[in-house]
Amino acid sequence: MKHSIYAVAVCLSSILVGVVSHAAEPPDKPRLNLNEGAIRVQGEVRDAETGEPIKELRLIIGSPYNDIHTNWQGHLITEHADGRYEWFNRRPWLKTRLRIEADGYRPAISPTFTRDAGDVTMDFQLRPDKGIFGTVVGAQGDVVAGAEVAMATFRRETSVQNGKLIYVNGQRLGAELVLTDQMGKFRVPPEADPYLIVAAHREHGFGLVERATVQGLHKTNKPLVIPLEPWCRVEGQLTDNGKPEPNQMYQLYVGWQPKPEWPILNHRDGGTTDEQGRFVCERLAPGAHYIQRQINSGQGTELVGPSLSLIAVAGKTMRITIGNQQRSAVGRLVSFEGHVLPAGFAWSDLSVTIQGKSSRRRRVAPAWPNANEIQKIELADDGTFRVDGLRPGDLQIKLTPKDPNGPLGDVAFRCFGLLRVRLVDDQEVDQPHDFGDVRISVFPTAEPK
């Protein structure tokens, strides 16, 4: 999904983090018995400009989520002093990263350690950094006092709820909202992880800037300005096959991560529909969204309902219907590259069924009792198909040979992914949903391993 990215400039202290790894161990520390499977990382932390040891610092342990993001563990923060740190673990994770923090400095992040790293000495050099300073302005360029500003990262997930910013997690990691002063100015601490700077005001709107923009405009030494776009108002109705659903508790969840390096942002709004199944979302950020209806059963179980794709327009009122009309779908089955189909094979030799996917944590709401019904799909020889009467949600396909005793009896066909039917608005409900090419794995045995 895409979201507006605003042109901004930034004034930020120079950033430098030096990480030096040594194989040798200081003489005052005994080496570990590597057969124990333990890991110890230690070293010095100095000011990159003066070379002096940093008096007070924090060490945070995390496990890599991927090459970009890290699951920092707030309960594993330790305090260290006099420019030295040490981390020891007899039963380390498969992969670990270290984060060094000190007030007035930009944090540093280590390379990834594997559990067999043994003894490692790693020194850090932190560059003094006062943080990121900026100003929040409204759509007309006037400064906005009292706007909330958040430094959103992977472990400081930020949610927008009725025009207010809320940290979903990360409080132990220092997640803290800041407010702009009477001149619309703010300061957020320096950050080493990929981030978004998010700003919101209930009356003036929503805005954000990404790290790449901040870093690029730092070279121009200009002040950071975050312009807010007015909120979009959404007037909606919940229906089931065209009939209004009155007095239904609901939650609208909107989440997006348009770039891999971005943290996930989400919008939440909820309440109870009126007698005509209607609801109002007063403040939705402009941009492309995927709205997921979720109903709370009252027993702690979220029940997934229909969904709708929406382009929210700044300052406009949009009217939508989130219903449960059945849809048709088309697609084509194709084999994965390198998966060889039997000689003389035709896709029409297979029996195919499609069924709604649910679990104990995410169930289909009672209002859609047919969502888990098994439906048969007739395939053409080339794998193309059309199926009618599908309801919104995640679907799974099962394929079996029509003749289990024939030449395909010892071949297994599997679709390991899920097909998702997203309900668009009522004006488009008659258009078939196109799955495109659905890739199928082909195995020479009946039970793939």
Of the listed ranges 15-19, 129-133, 204-208, 296-300, the one predicted with least confidence: 15-19
Q: How far apart are CA 158 and CA 155, in angstroms?
A: 9
| Residues 135, 159 contacting (CB under 8 angstroms) | no
Cα 370 from Cα 352, distance rounded (Å): 18
DSSP string, 259-275: STTSPPEEEEEEEE--T
φ, ψ of residue 35 in degrees (nearest 5): -70, -15
φ, ψ for residue 407, nearest 5 deg: -65, -20
| Banded pLDDT at 324 (limits 50, 70, 90) | low
Q: Looking at residues 175-201, what average pLDDT do you find?
A: 95
Q: Do 197 and 218 contact (CB within 8 A), yes or no?
A: no
Angstrom distance (rounded) from CA 77 to CA 337: 46
- Just give the CATH number of 131-227: 2.60.40.1120
Q: What is the pLDDT of residues 297-315, one digit of tens each?
A: 555 545 555 566 678 899 9
Averaged pLDDT of the chain: 81
25's CB contacts (< 8 A; 6+ apart) are 31, 119, 121
State the residue for tokens 């859609």: 368
Both tokens of residue 366? 């009672």
Q: How many CB atoms lie within 10 A of CB 44?
A: 17
How far is residue 88 from each of residues 31, 72, 112, measured CA to CA in Å? 12, 17, 15
121: alpha, beta or left? (left if phi > 0; alpha if psi -120 to 50): beta
Q: Residue holding tokens 């472990």?
A: 155
Q: Helix, strand or coil for residue 34?
A: helix
Reported as a single tens digit per residue, the pLDDT across 161-178 is: 889 999 988 888 888 999
> Are the C-beta atoms of 200 and 160 separated by less than 8 Å?
yes
Give mean pLDDT, residues 16-25: 45
User: Which DSSP state fits 76?
Assistant: G
Q: Give the pLDDT confidence of 59-98 residue by residue, as tens digits.
A: 999 999 888 899 999 999 999 999 999 999 988 899 999 9
For residues 240 and 325, give the distance between their C-alpha atoms in angstroms, rounded to a whole number. Answer: 7
Determine if residue 141 is left, alpha or beta; phi over 0 gives left, psi from -120 to 50 gives alpha, anything else beta.
left
Instruction: Dump the DSSP string for 107-144.
Output: -EEPPPEETT--EEEEEEEE-B---EEEEEE-TTS-B-
Tens digit of pLDDT for each residue in 337-354? 878 888 888 999 999 988
pLDDT in tens, 415-425: 877 776 665 54
> Tokens at residue 360, please?
């104990």
> Helix or strand or coil: residue 211?
helix
Measured at the CA of 134, the angle between CA 131 and CA 135, to 5 degrees, comes to 155
The CATH number corresponding to 232-322 among 3.30.70.920, 2.40.110.10, 1.10.3090.10, 2.60.40.1120 equals 2.60.40.1120
Cβ atoms within 10 Å of 281's Cβ, excluding its own: 23
Q: Please name the residues in contact with 423: beta carbons below 8 A apart, sequence gap of 6 or more.
A: 306, 307, 308, 322, 323, 324, 325, 327, 392, 429
Q: What angle do CA 317, 323, 328 make, to 5 degrees?
A: 120
| CA separation for the pair 303, 48 (Å, rounded) | 53
Considering the entire predicted model, what is its pTM? Answer: 0.69
Q: Is the pLDDT of residue 44 over 80?
A: yes
**Domain range list for the chain:** 17-126, 131-227, 232-322, 327-443
Percent of the chain with pLDDT over 90: 41
pLDDT at 448: 44
**Residue 184 in this model has a pLDDT that exceeds 60:** yes
Topology of the domain covering 327-443: Immunoglobulin-like (2.60.40)
| CATH topology agreement for domains 17-126 and 232-322 | yes
Tell whether domain 17-126 is in CATH 1.20.1560.10: no
Q: Which amino acid is at 311?
A: I
Angstrom distances, CA of residue 68 to CA of 87, 101, 120, 131, 269: 23, 19, 23, 22, 30
